[in-house]
Amino acid sequence: MPGSPTIWDDLTLILPLIVLWITSFVLLLGDVVVWKKNRDLNPILAIVGTLIALGIAVYQTISLTGDKAFARSLNMDALAQVSMIALLVTGLLAILLAWTYLKNRGLERGEYYPLMLLSVSGAALMGAANDLIVLFIGLEILSFALYVMAGFSRSDIRSEEASIKYFLLGAFASAFLLYGIALVYGATQTTQLSELASRVHSAQTPMLVAGIGLLIVGLGFKAAVIPFHQWTPDVYEGAPTSVTAYMAGAAKIAAFVAMLRVFDSLAPVSSVWLGAIQALAVLTMVFGNLLAIAQTNVKRMLAYSSIAHAGYLMVAIATLAHRLDGPRGAQAGELAMTGSLFYLFAYTFMTLGAFGVLIYLSNRGKDYQQIEDLRGLVRHDPRTAYAMLFFMLSLGGIPPTMGFMGKWQIFYAALSGGEIMLAIVMALTSVMAAFYYLKIVYVMCFEEPREAAPAPAQFSFGASLSVLLSAAATILFGIMPGLLYTLTGLVR
């Protein structure tokens, strides 16, 4: 192309995103005009599109160039590619989960899958952002789709509440983030993260400190870090379970990859933000786990558990602060990067799996949400109960599951980076977490079922496959973490 010789290279680098966008446009229009009533085509086409995008993303990861695209506003390095793979896998599992769930509830509107694909693309943009403005746009694309999806069950007042609450608080948090970006720009005259890294050290003004503080608030909201977590339980509980599962995985990956990027380039001024991140990490780990213990609703419990997991990931962010403190710190920083990516993979598999079990059981006609509903599950549906058992062990961080491997990597990174206090808090709160995860196991396996014999679960291909894949990944990567480590290890 004359005048702009690199535009095709740029477009090739974001080819997975383009595939997602085209797929969502086709789905959006096709559902209204072409195949009006054949609603099974929607998930099938969405899966095809996601698989193509995933294939391209994997290919691009193998032949990694690490180029910056679009006037250095996107950084298509290993972190971007690997997080894109994680997001596409999350999207794929979530589409499978939603298939029958939506159909059984009459929520099968054509907009669901396009929204989900668009939000995946927004999340991937966040992961690839080399510019704070691109990061913000990615965040908004991700969030807008999630606001709508949370309220997808229009006739259910809880779903409406979840949507409006998420929207209002999310808009507020976005404003914080944007103000933070503006102040950081004011202090350093740049929004590009790679430029920022070389400029922040000589620009330590109160304006920069305020900007970083607001960035922490904005990103912390998306990542559900205490004290910015108030929306999480209500939204997770109110939204349709298939949306909750997707949101839990995708939003967490996007928020933390963005945090890794931002705080990686802010490492030269780590003394400014390290204390805040440490405090947030401790608060999040302690209160996330404490509040989860009191829950009687599985979705709410998993919401607080997602908060607790955000706390563990904050430990990795805090470790990143020591990246420039000599060779030992550099090694710890690398470990924190790879470890948190591994952890995000683990988190998305086990959380989607746990929600997937709820979705699978909900195909019986009533929603399985309370811990009471799972009572004695092993008696009448042993396979599902064992799958849930594995996800609970993994969430609790008990070997030989993926959750353990992820937590171990972050723990090790924190120790070698000198964050001894955080490592201790992490170990102690993990023990606390075991209580409520094992409570579900106890209720499932050692208590008598309340009802004699509930109607057998209607077989649903999508949910079964999704749960099966998640369980397989949780166990496989738990026993042989090296397989996944070849992927996450690229991020150094």
Partner 1 sequence: MLNDYLPVLVMMAVATVIAVGMVVGSYLLGPKKPSRFKQSSYECGMTPVGTARERFPIKFYLIAMLFIIFDIETIFLYPWAVTFAGSERAVKLFNLAEMAIFVGILFVGYFYILWKGAFDWDEGQREDAEQPSRKIFEPRAPIRFGNESSGEVRLKAAADVSSSPTEESSRLTHV
Residues that bind partner 1 (CB under 8 A): 1-4, 7, 25, 28-29, 32-33, 106, 154-155, 157
155 vs 271, which CB is nearer to partner 1? Answer: 155
Q: How far is the CB of 171 from partner 1 (least distance, A)?
A: 15
Q: How far is the CB of 37 from partner 1 (least distance, A)?
A: 10
Q: How far is the CB of 118 from partner 1 (least distance, A)?
A: 11
3-state SS record for the chain: CCCCCCHHHHHHHCHHHHHHHHHHHHHHHHHHHCCCCCCCHHHHHHHHHHHHHHHHHHHHHHCCCCCEECCCCEECCHHHHHHHHHHHHHHHHHHHHHHHHHHHCCCCCCCHHHHHHHHHHHHHHHHHECEHHHHHHHHHHHHHHHHHHHCCCCCCHHHHHHHHHHHHHHHHHHHHHHHHHHHHHHHHCCCEHHHHHHHHHHCCCHHHHHHHHHHHHHHHHHCCCCCCCCHHHHHHHHCCHHHHHHHHHHHHHHHHHHHHHHHHHCHHHHHHHHHHHHHHHHHHHHHHHHHHHCCCEHHHHHHHHHHHHHHHHHHHHHHHHHHHCHHHHHHHHHHHHHHHHHHHHHHHHHHHHHHHHHHHHHCCCCCCCEHHHHCCHHHHCHHHHHHHHHHHHHHHCCCCCHHHHHHHHHHHHHHHHCCHHHHHHHHHHHHHHHHHHHHHHHHHHHCCCCCCCCCCCCCCHHHHHHHHHHHHHHHHHHHCHHHHHHHHCCCC
27 vs 422, which CB is nearer to partner 1? Answer: 27
Q: How far is the CB of 155 from partner 1 (least distance, A)?
A: 4
Q: How far is the CB of 19 from partner 1 (least distance, A)?
A: 15
109 vs 380, which CB is nearer to partner 1? Answer: 109
153 vs 348, which CB is nearer to partner 1? Answer: 153
Q: How far is the CB of 11 from partner 1 (least distance, A)?
A: 11
3 vs 327, which CB is nearer to partner 1? Answer: 3
152 vs 343, which CB is nearer to partner 1? Answer: 152
Q: How far is the CB of 49 from partner 1 (least distance, A)?
A: 15
Q: How far is the CB of 32 from partner 1 (least distance, A)?
A: 4
1 vs 452, which CB is nearer to partner 1? Answer: 1
3 vs 206, which CB is nearer to partner 1? Answer: 3
Q: How far is the CB of 105 from partner 1 (least distance, A)?
A: 10
108 vs 264, which CB is nearer to partner 1? Answer: 108
